[in-house]
Chain A
């Protein structure tokens, strides 16, 4: 391409057209020639194949019957085609059967056929002769390519001539047509040259055609026009600018005087701001970029307890409560950076005295015209009082005022929160439901103040035993709950037992009395299987109830059957059951004999209460008495017992049964009840029974817990001739000091000491000393749990007065009393 670069456009165009045309013609001629030769070749080959096939079809019988004459005749028929050089029929063994040779051609061609090689001059065709599916020979035909060569040369010459003529025409025509392109270009180049030489921008180029060149010329003209215009504009602009400068000078003068006036006004407003700042009722300060105080007013000084000179230069964070520093500093730097234009914050400041001040902080920034931070104006309002009030309110709403533990509402809220996450965390939690066993006794005997104090102390004890993250809450009168997060059942059971033991060890002292307390604890797991708090609380409550049922002061792990059990035998159910048993006379009195050890006579009985259930089974008092105590049915039951016992005593006095006296148990709750005392006195008078045959048994715990009332009851009824026995002596908070003051006639030694008296020397010593002291005090002793004669002998040896237990006689319905005697007499 480089050789063309120096040529004119005209020459370039001529060269392009000539080369392109010549190339196109050459390719076309080449393709045509190639196609022609190929076609000729295939026509020739087709012809040859046809000839060979004709020979093949006719020659088979000649071969079969070895007829050479006929064979030669058939092959010779090929002579009519002058292009065929030679033909031959070969037998399968390779021998020549017949052959033919065109005399016009050289003999050597025949050799070529035999050798079967590809010759430049010949085309060979081979066809097999088939008879009955067997090849019996081959026909070979060979033709000359002479005709093709001739034709090729002829075509080639013609093509060359056509090419030369076409090229000539193309060059002549293109010379004419090129003018259309290069004439306008020439013109444009001339004009451009002229403009640049003469600097005359008024000249315009002529537009020839409406093509790209026309457009180019048009653009060129337009460009000239622009240059011309700009030339003219430039001059007028210079004039304009001169005038403008003059005007600006005047404006500047005016502005300067304006600025002076503004300055005066600013100074004025600053004076006013200053006075407002310093005399403001709320705390104000100007804060620098580095969070230090540059100015401060008196109110803020008062609020924080510092003098102005102490505060100026101090960093604000030094006055801030540690927890709030980061937020406060963070907000300040956002303000400095311009991310905030102002902010409001409730934060804690530290007063010079050290106390915490809650402040409502309002800060806005002051910036110059370049928007650079100058200082921040901070307003601080003391909201400590409001804050403390709201803290207190929320604390009160969620806490129990008495124990300062979390209250039921808060407990349930926390439980719900745990439940919300239990599924996603797949974690395990547990809940304890704690019910105090002896709380009612304390509350009833010592009053509510004592009850409250007990709860307070118990709460402290339990709080010490739980893990730090567990929630201990008071969820009812004497009911507590513990929410143990991330805690499996094993751990929960352990904690529950620790709590139970701690409560058991604890002695609640009130005045000069001491009480032991028990805790029945229900444990229930919290897992994905339960999804509402009511259900969980219900389960824990049921477990707690089961703990109570199985004898109090123990821990029970929730089991499914607990729920149904609690439902069936729940406390409330007991109320109905006890009431209906009373109505349907299903309470019965049993009697257990007490033997006079010295005389071996059994004229003394303890009356025991039994309840018969709907199905007729006998239920021991351990099952229904706790419920009766809890729901104030105990006085009703005690009255029934008294009534029945008195009537029985009256009936039996008619017969000649040798009964010296019988013991009737009274619950501690009734000892302090004036109405009950009146009822007893009434009944005694009504039945007119021999009061000396009535002995009331009161428990040591109940008597001591309610000593004053018990004393009154005892004294009154003793005055009427009744006897009194102190039950279970030795098991509770026994003290001989109490005993001294109690005017009872009998002391029942707790069976726990008696039953092992034979083997255990300590028990023996205790029983012995209790017996001795009792005798000194003038009281008779009764040993419980006398299970065999060995025990009886031991008791006899130390001089205990009476014995009671399975070894003496089992409890039996009243009707069998005579049978005890009969048995013993015999």
Chain B
């Protein structure tokens, strides 16, 4: 009985060690996903949506399209309170449905700039993505990594065009693009 236990213990120790080495790369991605998810929640406090953009259910809809590390963590914030509204997480929506989302995250993996343009035509949705060059395509907030830290770039012109007001406090920490447009 004691021998079996020792073997089992050795096996467990080996597995943990192997995982921890491999996990280094994976950990970094995972932490980024968590930050991205939390930032989505923080945006809601520093961006103002027109009152008309909320549906009658009075939920604050955060939508996620595509495969992303966010998915792992986003459910933690479902049900949280934002400006008197309950957060609802909706995944993989069509372009037509996008106008019901206050925030729409589009994964870099499933990115398609045509879709973006179509969505931008209609509604007051804050579009966020980790796709490089997303802002140039008209997206409002783009996640990017510098010095191994997750940063935020904001396209003020696009936001304004779609009726969204972004707080100066958020702007202070962000890289700002298209202020003149």
Interface of A with B (CB < 8 Å)? 58, 60-62, 64-68, 70, 131-132
In the bound complex, how far is the Cα of B45 from the Cα of A132, in angstroms?
9
Contact of A60 with B35 at beta-carbon distance under 8 Å, contacts A66-B150, A132-B45 already known: no
Other-chain residue from B35, B46, B172 in contact with A66 (beta carbon distance below 8 A): B35
A60 touches B169 (CB 8 A): yes
Q: Which B122-181 residues have C-beta < 8 A from chain A? A: 149-152, 169-170, 172-173
B42 proximal to A (CB < 8 A):
yes
Chain A residue nearest in CB terms to B146: A69
Contacts of B149 in A (CB 8 A): 66, 68
Sample (5) of A-B pairs whose CB atoms are under 8 Å apart: A58-B169, A61-B170, A62-B173, A65-B42, A67-B151
Contacts of A62 in B (CB 8 A): 172-173
* B105 CB → nearest A CB, Å: 16
A58 touches B42 (CB 8 A): no
Chain B residue nearest in CB terms to A70: B173
Q: Which B46-88 residues have C-beta < 8 A from chain A? A: 46
B42 touches A64 (CB 8 A): yes
* A129 CB → nearest B CB, Å: 12
Chain A residue nearest in CB terms to B83: A132
A67 touches B45 (CB 8 A): no
Contacts of B172 in A (CB 8 A): 58, 61-62, 70
Chain A residue nearest in CB terms to B80: A132
Chain A residue nearest in CB terms to B82: A132
Interface size of B in residues (CB-CB distance below 8 Å):
13
Chain B residue nearest in CB terms to A66: B149
A-B contact count (CB 8 A): 26
Given contact pairs A65-B173, A131-B45, enumerate 17 new A-B contacts (beta carbons under 8 Å).
Answer: A58-B169, A58-B172, A61-B169, A61-B170, A61-B172, A61-B173, A65-B39, A65-B42, A65-B152, A66-B149, A66-B150, A67-B151, A67-B173, A68-B149, A70-B172, A70-B173, A132-B45
In the bound complex, how far is the Cα of B42 from the Cα of A225, in angstroms?
109
* A55 CB → nearest B CB, Å: 13
Main secondary structure of the interface of B (DSSP, over half): helix
Contacts of A61 in B (CB 8 A): 46, 169-170, 172-173
In the bound complex, how far is the Cα of B173 from the Cα of A73, in angstroms?
11
* B154 CB → nearest A CB, Å: 11
In the bound complex, how far is the Cα of B72 from the Cα of A686, in angstroms?
164
In the bound complex, how far is the Cα of B131 from the Cα of A756, in angstroms?
156
In the bound complex, how far is the Cα of B170 from the Cα of A60, in angstroms?
10
* B124 CB → nearest A CB, Å: 22
Contacts of B45 in A (CB 8 A): 131-132
In the bound complex, how far is the Cα of B149 from the Cα of A15, in angstroms?
80
Chain B residue nearest in CB terms to A71: B173
Q: Which 7 A-B pairs have the closest CB atoms?
A: A67-B173, A61-B169, A70-B173, A61-B173, A65-B173, A64-B42, A62-B173
Contacts of A66 in B (CB 8 A): 35, 149-150
Contacts of A132 in B (CB 8 A): 45
Contacts of B35 in A (CB 8 A): 66
Contacts of A131 in B (CB 8 A): 45
In the bound complex, how far is the Cα of B42 from the Cα of A61, in angstroms?
9
In the bound complex, how far is the Cα of B172 from the Cα of A578, in angstroms?
141
* A195 CB → nearest B CB, Å: 100
Chain A residue nearest in CB terms to B174: A65
Residue of B46, B170, B173 with most partner-chain A CB within 10 A? B173
Contacts of B169 in A (CB 8 A): 58, 60-61
Chain B residue nearest in CB terms to A62: B173
* A677 CB → nearest B CB, Å: 141
In the bound complex, how far is the Cα of B39 from the Cα of A66, in angstroms?
10
Residue of B45, B150, B151, B172 with most partner-chain A CB within 10 A? B172
* B34 CB → nearest A CB, Å: 11
In the bound complex, how far is the Cα of B173 from the Cα of A60, in angstroms?
10
Q: Which B74-121 residues have C-beta < 8 A from chain A? A: none
In the bound complex, how far is the Cα of B150 from the Cα of A64, in angstroms?
12
Chain B residue nearest in CB terms to A57: B169
* B170 CB → nearest A CB, Å: 6
In the bound complex, how far is the Cα of B45 from the Cα of A67, in angstroms?
17
Contacts of B150 in A (CB 8 A): 66
In the bound complex, how far is the Cα of B46 from the Cα of A674, in angstroms?
153
In the bound complex, how far is the Cα of B177 from the Cα of A649, in angstroms?
170
In the bound complex, how far is the Cα of B39 from the Cα of A68, in angstroms?
16
Contacts of B42 in A (CB 8 A): 64-65
Contacts of A58 in B (CB 8 A): 169, 172
Chain B residue nearest in CB terms to A63: B173
Contacts of A64 in B (CB 8 A): 42
In the bound complex, how far is the Cα of B151 from the Cα of A58, in angstroms?
18
In the bound complex, how far is the Cα of B150 from the Cα of A60, in angstroms?
17
In the bound complex, how far is the Cα of B170 from the Cα of A70, in angstroms?
11
* A73 CB → nearest B CB, Å: 9
Contacts of B39 in A (CB 8 A): 65
Contacts of B170 in A (CB 8 A): 61, 65
In the bound complex, how far is the Cα of B82 from the Cα of A132, in angstroms?
9
Contacts of A68 in B (CB 8 A): 149
Contacts of B46 in A (CB 8 A): 61
In the bound complex, how far is the Cα of B174 from the Cα of A64, in angstroms?
12
Chain B residue nearest in CB terms to A60: B169
Contacts of B151 in A (CB 8 A): 67
* A763 CB → nearest B CB, Å: 130
0/1 per residue, B20-48, Cβ < 8 Å to A?
00000000000000010001001001100
In the bound complex, how far is the Cα of B154 from the Cα of A61, in angstroms?
15
